[in-house]
Structure 1
Amino acid sequence: MHRKAVTRRAGKTILALALALGVLTGCAPADEDPNTGRAASPGRTIPFELYTHCGIDEARIGSTYFEAETPLSDGSGNPPEGWGNPTQHGTMTVKSETEAVFTDDAGHEVRFRARPGAKAPKHMCA
C-alpha cells in the first residue's frame, strides 16, 4: 500500500474511534449549560440527548458519571419500547451534585445518582 493510503486509512480509523468513544460514554454535547459552556449547576435544567442504544443505564453530565436508579431495557440490551434509539431528546434537571432527573415530551422520567470517583463509563456498549 502507498504511504498516502495508509495515512488516510489511519486518520479515518482515529476519527471513527474518537466518535465512537464519545457516543459510547453516554456523554451528550448538551451536558453543559448552553449559556455558559460549563457543567450544569444544581437547580438547572438543560437540553440533553440521553444515549439509549444499549438501554438506559447511565449518563455523563459535565465530568460526572451518573447511573440510573432503575436501569431500563427491553431485556435484550436495547431501550424499552417507546424510547428513541440510539438517543432520546429531553432535558436533564440537576437536582444536586449527586442527583439528576431526565424527562422528555413522551412522559419518560429517569432518576440518576452520581457514581463517586467514576472516571469512565461502567461498560462499553457494542
Structure 2
Amino acid sequence: MAGKIRLSLLVATLLAVLVAACAGPVTPLADASSESPAPTASGLPTMLYTHCGIKELQVDDTFFLAETPLDDGQGNPPPGWGNPYQAGTVTVSGSKAVFRDDNGHIFTFLARPGATGFLNICS
C-alpha cells in the first residue's frame, strides 16, 4: 500500500512539473521563509527538476526555493546532476525540504508559504 502511495506521489509530482514547464510565469512571487508549514513527507522518492539548475521543488501543495541555487553558470544543472531530472528522495521537516540522491548530493530547500506555483518556468 505504501509503495502505491509513493508511486502515486511521484507520478503526480512529475506531471505537475511537466505541466508547469509549459505554462507561463505564475503569481504570487513570495520569498522563501522560515515560517513552518506542517511537515508533509519523509524520505519519499522524487524526481527533482534540474533542467535550468537546482532552484525549486514542489512537495504536495508546498513550493520550496533552493537555499543556495546551483547551476553551471549558463542555467543548466552542474556536472554530476541529471538533466532534466535527478532521481532521489525528499524529506520535509517544518519549512525545510532536503533532497538526497544516490550520488551523494544533499540539497536544502526553504518553503515559500502561500506560493501557488514556481518562480521560474524554463523550457
TM over 0.5: yes
Q: Distance in 1 between matches of 2:17 and 2:66?
A: 24
TM-score normalised by the chain length of structure 1: 0.67
What letter corresponds to residue 19 of structure 2 in structure 1? L
Tell me: CA distance 1:41–1:84, structure 2 relative to 1, closer, same or farther (3 Å): same
Structure 1: segments with no counterpart, 5+ residues:
1-17, 26-39
TM-score normalised by the chain length of structure 2: 0.69
**1:100 maps onto 2:68 in alignment:** no
Structure number, greater radius of gyration = 1
By how many angstroms is 1:21 displaced?
A: 2.0
Tell me: CA distance 1:116–1:89, structure 2 relative to 1, closer, same or farther (3 Å): same
Tell me: CA distance 1:55–1:19, structure 2 relative to 1, closer, same or farther (3 Å): closer
Q: Which runs of 4+ in 1 moved over 6 A?
A: none
What letter corresponds to residue 64 of structure 2 in structure 1? F
Question: Which residue number corresponds to residue 3 of structure 1?
Answer: none
Question: Which residue number corresponds to residue 114 of structure 1?
Answer: 111
Local SS of the residue matching 1:21: helix
The number of residue pairs the alignment matches comes to 94
By how many angstroms is 1:116 displaced?
A: 1.3
Residue of structure 1 aligned with 2:53, choices 51, 55, 59: 55
Q: Distance in 1 between matches of 2:17 and 2:92?
A: 26
CA deviations over 1:89-125 (Å, ceiling 9, x no partner): 00001122x1110000000011010011111110111
By how many angstroms is 1:24 displaced?
A: 6.0
Q: Distance in 1 between matches of 2:22 and 2:93?
A: 25
